[in-house]
Chain A
Amino acid sequence: MTALLEIEKLTVQFGSATLTDRILRRRARVLRAVDDLSLTLEQGEALAVVGESGCGKSTLARAIVGLVPIASGRVHFDGMDIAGGRDRSTRRRIQMVFQDPGSSLNPSLTVRNTLAEVLKVHSMVPADRIGERCAELMDLVELPPAILDARPQRLSGGQKQRIGIARALAAEPDLLIADEAVAALDVSVQASVLNLLRQLRHRLGLTLLFISHDLAVVRNLCDRVAVMYLGTVVEESNTEEVFGNPRHPYTRALLSAVPRIGVKKTSGEAALAGEPPSPLALPLGCRFHPRCPIAAEVCRIEEPLLESRQQHAARCHFAWESTEPITIGEQP
């Protein structure tokens, strides 16, 4: 396998010195949404980025597509450096599906015009073949061609999300980034959109970066998982390894917090106490230590590195202390 996307020490930050800051000669408050993050995406694989709100997963997606500026770090796509900007043909090769199809589709355009716009901008097909290609795209996302003449307002949530996917596929991308693409859908609709994504991925040989907070969905769809906490990756490996043998205490807490069918909650005990600290004031040492059940002195002082053992990386001082497998939730 070759790497399609290589991210090295990526930092994305928001906020710079305001006028007031400059007058008062204050230091600007800077929020590091993505902090020194490295990640590799192999050709053809589906990588999930999971984490809770504010962990920076969406910012990471937006930085890869070029919707937010990158403060520092390297982003290589198919061997090209795209951190500083990219040409139209590279832009075409990375497409995104957004969370809320209701607000990410232009309400005044018919589905046909939405798709045709992409086909024209990227000169995907000759002008006389646009209609034909639109019909093919509808077929690809399993919608009846009659929908081409509808505006988004008339479509259901599931149909709109399929149009969102068709619009991304119109550009024939190599890398598809789905940012919480099924989070807003009802479970029966979600199931069919997940099935569609899986089929498309194999049929078109897409590489998929799937951003989600829903661990059950991720386990169903993705080959590899990266867990993010406060802007950085704290654990990364293939899906079964992360779910079956989590080495980071945050991953373990996340997994045992997921409600499961058939498991009744009988006590008030929570998997994880407290809430994540503000990304404006990151704790010293390990950024997870204030909530960590196994935090020790070293965790307050020294930030752990992302350490790998057999293609399983975890950012915890104690990740590899014992090599016994840890299972979550399998016990009665």
Chain B
Amino acid sequence: MVEGRMSKPLLIVEDLRVEINRHGSIVTPVDEVSFELQQGEILGLVGESGSGKTLTLKALMGLLPPGVVQVGGSISSRSGDVLQPLDPEKARGRIMAMIFQEPATALNPLRRVRDLIAEPFIVGHGVARNEARAKAVALMRAVGIPDPEQRSRAYPHQLSGGLRQRVMIAMALATESTLLLCDEPTTALDVTIQDQILGLLVELKRERDLTLVLVTHDLAVVSELCDRVAVMYAGRIVETGATADVFANPGHPYTAALLAAVPRFEPGGGDLTTIGGSPPDLRNVPSGCRFRTRCQYAFEECATAGHRLTHVADERQTACIHPAWIERGVAI
């Protein structure tokens, strides 16, 4: 099933590099990031704070904050059979839309919900205001907002966090984009509401044939939702593959350590496995593999190895050069 898709990536990111120049000292929060996004999949970008996952997403969207610049790499998107460089300014709101973490601050507080959702119809597709509002109400129903007619006149602050996130999803759908970039869409929500929103994303993806990139720090959310996962550490992707495979049999020591640190939903409360040390200061990253200073399997070559994702099995790539980990990957 994957074969057919593999040949037609929707988005190809190659060697993406993002820099911040602060008082003359340059840090690279996103470095040599390459991945492909297949039509119709949900890809998870997972990592801890500062791993570069959100900036990667913002670079795709062309929404890097001031002072943060993409200095290298290419992003290309497919339209029909042609791959062409992605122009975020043009693609934003047409083929791709973003769902932000904090709907409380991402929604314009001065506009009614129906106008927020209607705007893409009016601006992007030239639909008349009344018709656009009717479409907005229909979308509100589609994303599971109860009493959409009544709620459509509300302002964002009058809605709960869960409803605001549904409004944001409706706004993204209103652009008629088929690629949704989601930045921690459920992190600010309670667990029962998170469950609802994740379910909504699964349904919408199926009904509307969407492709999703999901940035999150929560490995369990990735496991629930994503077909494939890319694990980021200190600005680089260290492992990618099918989510179930990666989580069952990690092919990089960082992925393994991260998985071991998550409290499992199982009886018994022993000590959790921790990762010694802390993520490197981006102003002063270790040479070679950036995880080597915290890695219990590190050996000499790790200090000089270049960063390269190696195929170890179908769909499975790891940046680790340690034979034991590569063997594990191949064994899958």
- Residues of chain A within 8 A (CB-CB) of B301 are none
Q: Is B192's CB under 8 angstroms from A217's CB?
A: no
Instruction: Check if B202 is an interface residue, CB within 8 A of chain A.
Output: yes
**Chain A residue contacts of B224, Cβ below 8 A:** 259-260, 263-265
A239: chain B residues at CB < 8 Å are 269
Contact of A272 among B195, B258, B259, B265 (CB under 8 A): B195
Give Cα A214 to B223, complex, Å. 17
Is A188's CB under 8 angstroms from B263's CB? no
Least CB distance from B15 to A in Å reads 27
Would B202 and A265 count as touching, CB distance under 8 A? yes
Tell me which of B162, B163, B196, B258 has the highest count of chain A C-beta atoms within 10 A of its own C-beta.
Answer: B196
A40 at the interface (CB under 8 A from B): no
Whether B261 pairs with A190 at a CB distance below 8 angstroms is yes
Interface assignment of B199: CB less than 8 Å from any CB of chain A: yes
Which residue in chain A gives the minimum CB-CB distance to B197? A270
Neighbouring B residues of A219 by C-beta, 8 Å: 263, 265-267, 269
How many B residues, CB 8 Å from partner?
Answer: 47
Task: A33 to B258: give the CA distance in the assembly, Å.
Answer: 37
Do A271 and B202 contact each other (CB < 8 Å), given the known contacts A191-B272, A215-B265?
Answer: no
Interface string of B216-240 (1 = CB under 8 A from A): 0111110111000000000000000
B193 within 8 A of partner (CB): yes
B window 237-294: CB within 8 A of A: 243-244, 247-248, 257-259, 261-267, 269, 271-275, 278
In the complex, are the beta carbons of A262 and B217 less than 8 A apart? no
Within the complex, the shortest CB–CB distance from A268 to chain B, in Å, comes to: 4
Contact of B195 among A189, A195, A257, A275 (CB under 8 A): A257
- Residues of chain B with a CB closer than 8 A to A253's CB: 192
Q: Which residues of B have CB within 8 Å of A52? A: 190-193
Give a binary string over B176-196; 1 marks a CB under 8 Å from any A CB, 0 the rest. Answer: 000000000000001111111
8 closest A-B pairs by beta carbon, nearest first, are A268-B203, A257-B195, A259-B220, A191-B272, A268-B199, A52-B190, A191-B261, A186-B48
With A198-B271, A240-B267 given, can you name 8 additional A-B contacts, CB distance below 8 Å? Answer: A187-B219, A195-B271, A216-B264, A219-B263, A259-B221, A262-B248, A267-B199, A267-B203
User: Mind listing 5 A-B residue pairs with CB under 8 Å?
Assistant: A187-B217, A220-B272, A243-B267, A275-B163, A329-B265
